[in-house]
Copies of this chain bind each other. A is one copy, B any other.
Amino acid sequence: MKYLTAGESHGKAIVGIIDSYPSGVRIDIDFINNELKRRQKGFGRGERMAIEDDRVDIISGIRKEKSTGSPISFLIYNKDWKNWKDKIDKEDNLLNPRPGHADFSGLLKYHLASIRDTIERSSARETAARVCVGSFAKIILKMLGINIFSYVNQIGKVVYKNDVKINLDIVKKTEDSQVRCPDNKKSLEMKQEIIKASENGNSIGGGFKIIATNLVPGIGSYNQGSSRIDAKIAYSIMSIPGIKAVEIGEGFKSAGMKGTDFHDKIYYDDKKGFTRRTNNAGGIEGGMTNGEPIIIGAKMKPIPTTVKGIETVNIKSKKKEISLKERSDVCAVPSASIVGEAMLSIEILNGILEKFGKDNIDEIINNYNSYKEYINKI
């Protein structure tokens, strides 16, 4: 599954093309639209999210709700487009780059006259397309029994440290929380952090975890650095705008631990087969899945666009200015966790398609089950 995205933040639409999506998959558009909605929600999002109500418009690759094996293309229209078109076309001389954003380097790299063109594409609005691609991936993962879940474990100074065991209750609590934190008390504190930042015309960062359950061992490979699934996941997660740190399992803590304490002892259980009682490795050993849940942690910096503005210079005049005050969110961590789910889904699905083929869902499931049987009989 390869994909490309296109589209500007205030352009007509965000566009995506997915190539090599298996045929025969029943596509539930409501599910995809709900994923888009999950990305839009979250306390701390700006006024724009009240305007936009993202819905996917599929142009190709699906007929009678089933994938045909042909490339899938889609648009997500920007409702707010018309209000911005004229405004943008007048901004041919915007030269006060936001520190922390693409504006400064983008203008130089592409020899632009205004930071506007960089702003438009480097905006996190592009991640709507990734969530859409990810939801196609999720649909297949679900058919293979693989679930993807995320929750927020930090907003500003408020950190939620509990070890989360996924169950229906936890999922419900997380989805109900305006900050995607499964703990009610922490959720409230997190909201307070966002309110405080907002009141100060500031923005705020945070962190989240993404978890994939029920995997087979052996997705990814140790053969080249570039074939390791941990490397691919780090790539995908770090590619989300704002993400500045990624860990697999207990990655940060691992540095301070002894080998016999960190590594997850292997057991065999007649019902579960090979199993572990800890999961410090986060489901990945030697660049491959080991069958345990994949657990990814990510840290997100505060959003560079602030109502207050940040000290910067005019790129041409070199004089001091205050950075552009684009309408923006105060905190986008809950949304980023949904994008994280999408990116993780894409990487896992690609690892699976590489091992089991990618033409037709029945063929993939058949090959997948053959592999599971072989493992059970070993």
Contacts and interface: CB of A to CB of B under 8 A. Distances in A.
Interface in A1-49: 2-8, 11-13, 15-17, 19-20, 23-24
A118 B222 contact: yes
A122 interface: yes
B17 A225 contact: no
A345 interface: no
Nearest to A4: B17
A74 to B, nearest CB: 9
**Tier of interface size on chain A:** 35 or more
Nearest to A331: B259
B223 A228 contact: no
Interface string A85-102: 000110010000111111
**Main SS class of interface, A:** mixed
B260 A202 contact: yes
Contact of A313 (B11, B69, B73, B268): B268
A280 B303 CA distance: 13
B232 A8 contact: no
B282 A244 contact: yes
A24 B111 contact: yes
A341 interface: no
Given A285-B105, A288-B106, A11 B99 contact: no
A362 interface: yes
Contacts of A238: 228, 230-231, 233-235, 246, 248
For the complex of A and B, 5 pairs with smallest distance between CB atoms:
A102-B286, A109-B218, A245-B251, A244-B251, A225-B239
Given A122-B286, A267-B311, A281-B301, 17 more contacts: A6-B61, A7-B59, A7-B73, A19-B223, A23-B111, A69-B110, A104-B274, A105-B289, A109-B218, A111-B362, A111-B363, A154-B255, A156-B256, A159-B256, A244-B248, A263-B302, A366-B370
